[in-house]
Structure 1
Amino acid sequence: MLKVVVGHSEDPESQDAIQEVLEQCSQDLAGVIPQAGILFAAIDFDHALILQEINQIFPEMDLIGCTTDGEISSVLGFQQDSLTLMLFCSDTVQISAGVGYKTKANPLASAHQAVQQATEKSTHAPKLCISIPASYLEDASTTDGELILQGLKLALGSQVPILGGTAGDQFRFKKTYQFFGKEVLTDSLPVLIFSGDIKFSYGVGCGWQPIGQQSIVTKAEGTVLYEVNGKSALEFYARYLGDRAPTAENPLAVYKENSHLYYMRVPNTYNVENGSINFLGNIPEQATIQITDISRDEVIMASEVSLKNALENYPGTEPEAVLLFSCCCRRWVLGTRAKEEYQLVKKLLSPEVPVCGFYTYGEFAPLEHQGSTYYHQETFVTLLLGTK
């Protein structure tokens, strides 16, 4: 059995918002005590107050969460400046939370700490991990999504899928918050680990289409791309964009080795003097890449592609909950059309299925069913959960 409920409020007052959310959840729980929860909140709320209110009602519940660049639920659809909470109850699925600290300085140790804390509470081997770590810290520096993912894979084993996304702060890029129990944190790695009788599937979609010839990264270091096919990164972009600067509208498709599958990398800043481009994620040397072009209709349709992919691979008869992780850059390029992502998803789901999600600063998901997890940008990720 898996019972999942969602509450969502757009009230700007923290006390009123969390009271509304808890009333919605309590009504749907009908006396059942939740085992775990996940909270997505806009940046300007009083997060400490919100966590205290949740703890007063559900003191034994494992809770994680983070701040966002937009919130999604089956209660209010796509919103900004809102608060949404998903609660999980089960007598056959074990769901436990853990958190790692000082994630930027030592992401591998932080991941190990989080996974160890969560798995110590469970009598079964982990089957699925949801992670929503820090992105921007107090000094506006950033964590490394690739290293966080590497740490989680080392701690969990390569066979356990990792889904989720990094915390947001409504496009301010200054400081994000993460939640663990009653703690409000800024440099942490919260995880929620599922084990036991859980069924799940996932799907990804982006909507950007590769154009031109596939090329080889001939010089790169971390997130900085220096050369493609022996020429500067800016020359590579100029071949397709002319005088236009590299932006989130034309990310790179980075291909999985010997595959047609790819993940996205978004250009952030560039250096005219040496022709390099800094991206919002690592780009491996010798990787095969292509520049991409945008059709907003296809970007929106990618949410449907993501959900259909997840539905096709769902191992049970029907999912009982849906989590969505979409990139803040998608929301930025879509503008007022961002709400259409969830509207497409909603059409393919039963109205009774609870949905919750947020707009992230980077997404975690496998590229294919039972494949290895990758760190993405500009991607729409769907996670289906159930026991049926």
Structure 2
Amino acid sequence: MKTLQIKKKKDQDWDYLSPKLELKKPLVLILGNRYMLEDTTIYKQVRDLFPDGHLVFGSTSGDITADVVDDESITITAIEFEKSTFQIKTSNVLNADLDSFKTGKYLVSEFPTDNLKHIFVISEGSFINGSQLTKGMNAATQNNTLITGGLCGDAARFEKTVAAYNENPKPGEIVAIGFYGDTFESTFSIHGGWTPFGPERIVTKSESNVLFELDGKPALDLYKKYLGDKSKELPGAALLYPLNVKSEGEKQSFVRTILNINEDNNTMILAGDIPENSKVQLMMTNVDNIANASERAARQALELRETKPQLALLVSCIGRKLVLDQRVEEEIEEVVNVVGKDTTICGFYSYGEIAPFHGETNCQLHNQTMTITLISE
């Protein structure tokens, strides 16, 4: 495996972060600021750099390399596989009448299954139902293929996200990369570092990813009561106080971020489904807990491997980034310290992370986690 990283900051030229290499038909991940990716010349710019590359774009809430997390930039990670092959499939949730399950199932069913080892997903993140997307993808896997990835971001604006394969980035697009090869190895792990607090509440009314009532009372009213003065900063403040959800249909609890609120009907719109009769609690964290969780995720992903990782794909949540603030690089440093400086680090801050629970095979939508995928061939 050969890798090359290039960065473009706002109003600046492309800057090579590693020595120039001639790569053959590389997989090129172009992750960065949504406004910069909406520049109508961006596809041509990257195509000029990689004439025979497979170009995958995704907007982020911050793009990640081993050294820095940037908000107003685009980071390119180009990868030439020497022993493995890959295929790329796309689907657009706008073409499926916003049916996220149908979109996910169709996307994964497009891949030939023979020797398929891993699928990495970069999904639109502004109006997708991530829970239904992952359920649809699981429904299309016949051999428990590992699926990881994340939902695109748009800083903390929550206005729109864009993604694309071999064209200018656009809304609604979901890109999946399927990896094949006898020697291809991928492992993963996720950790959050958030702690539940306060009383447990019962979800008495919900529909898909919209939360109406907790304990028979309007959910938004109750949430505002707990937030106090911080409720004036909604929906942004909600990223600092996500919900821990215990569902009857799941063995493990999961975390849901509040993406938006509706003042007119006192509801909260979450990043994924929140089933009725689930039990929920508010959660909180601090910088040290988040950094420690990233280290644990890296160690766990590394322990599961037979070979040394060459590439680390990191997907971390925008809520974690807001907590870390000026110390945002600390959770990346923890990962680098574990996997080694000779492992190429590529990643982004997201509106949701995609991976199975530890020890399971079906992928799930997570919020407020660091999800690490380690790859070698």
Structure 1 length as normaliser, TM-score? 0.83
Mapped pair 1:134 → 2:134: no
Mapped pair 1:373 → 2:351: no
Displacement of 1:271 after TM fit? Answer: 6.4
2:234 corresponds in structure 1 to: none
**1:337-356 residue pairs with structure 2 within 5 A?**
337-356=327-346
1:204 corresponds in structure 2 to: 190
Displacement of 1:235 after TM fit? Answer: 7.0
Pick closer, same or farther for the CA change 1:272–1:358 going to 2, 3 Å. closer
Counterpart pick for 1:100 among 79, 88, 91: 91
Pick closer, same or farther for the CA change 1:200–1:257 going to 2, 3 Å. farther
More off after superposition, 261-270 vs 143-152: 261-270
**Could you list the runs of 5+ residues in structure 2 that have no partner in the other structure?**
232-236
How far, CA to CA, are the matches of 1:260 and 1:221 in structure 2? 21
How far, CA to CA, are the matches of 1:83 and 1:331 in structure 2? 18
Q: Encode CA deviations 1:45-66: one digit per residue, 9 max, x unaligned.
A: 2554333233344344323120
1:189 corresponds in structure 2 to: 174
Mapped pair 1:149 → 2:134: yes
More off after superposition, 203-212 vs 97-106: 97-106
Contact 2:7 2:76 in 1 (8 A): no
How far, CA to CA, are the matches of 2:114 and 2:166 in structure 1? 22
Mapped pair 1:70 → 2:56: no
Give the letter for the 2:28 counterpart: G
Contact 2:2 2:23 in 1 (8 A): no
Pick closer, same or farther for the CA change 1:251–1:102 going to 2, 3 Å. closer
Counterpart pick for 2:157 among 152, 167, 172: 172
Displacement of 1:213 after TM fit? Answer: 5.1
RMSD (Å), alpha carbons: 2.9
How far, CA to CA, are the matches of 2:31 and 2:144 in structure 1? 27
Counterpart pick for 2:44 among 47, 52, 60: 52
Aligned residues: 368
Pick closer, same or farther for the CA change 1:336–1:158 going to 2, 3 Å. farther
Q: Encode CA deviations 1:307-360: one digit per residue, 9 max, x unaligned.
A: 12211222x131111000011121122221212111221222221110100111
Mapped pair 1:251 → 2:237: no
How far, CA to CA, are the matches of 1:186 and 1:274 in structure 2? 27
Secondary structure in structure 1 of the residue aligned to 2:339: coil
How far, CA to CA, are the matches of 1:279 and 1:370 in structure 2? 24
1:299 corresponds in structure 2 to: 290
More off after superposition, 40-49 vs 363-372: 40-49
How far, CA to CA, are the matches of 1:168 and 1:91 in structure 2? 31
Contact 1:6 1:356 in 2 (8 A): no
1:382 corresponds in structure 2 to: 372
Q: Encode CA deviations 1:158-216: one digit per residue, 9 max, x unaligned.
A: 71222111112222222222120134222211111112232111111111102245554
**Could you list the runs of 5+ residues in structure 1 that have no partner in the other structure?**
137-141
Q: Encode CA deviations 1:2-23: one digit per residue, 9 max, x unaligned.
A: x141413243236x22xx34x8
How far, CA to CA, are the matches of 1:374 and 1:193 in structure 2? 18
Counterpart pick for 1:38 among 29, 33, 54: 29
Pick closer, same or farther for the CA change 1:158–1:242 going to 2, 3 Å. farther
Contact 2:209 2:270 in 1 (8 A): yes
Counterpart pick for 1:79 among 64, 70, 74: 70
Give the letter for the 1:12 counterpart: K
1:360 corresponds in structure 2 to: 350
How far, CA to CA, are the matches of 1:66 and 1:248 in structure 2? 21
How far, CA to CA, are the matches of 2:263 and 2:118 in structure 1? 44
2:7 corresponds in structure 1 to: 9
More off after superposition, 220-229 vs 353-362: 220-229
Contact 2:138 2:362 in 1 (8 A): no
Contact 1:99 1:115 in 2 (8 A): no
1:226 corresponds in structure 2 to: 212
How far, CA to CA, are the matches of 2:143 and 2:215 in structure 1? 32
Pick closer, same or farther for the CA change 1:112–1:235 going to 2, 3 Å. closer
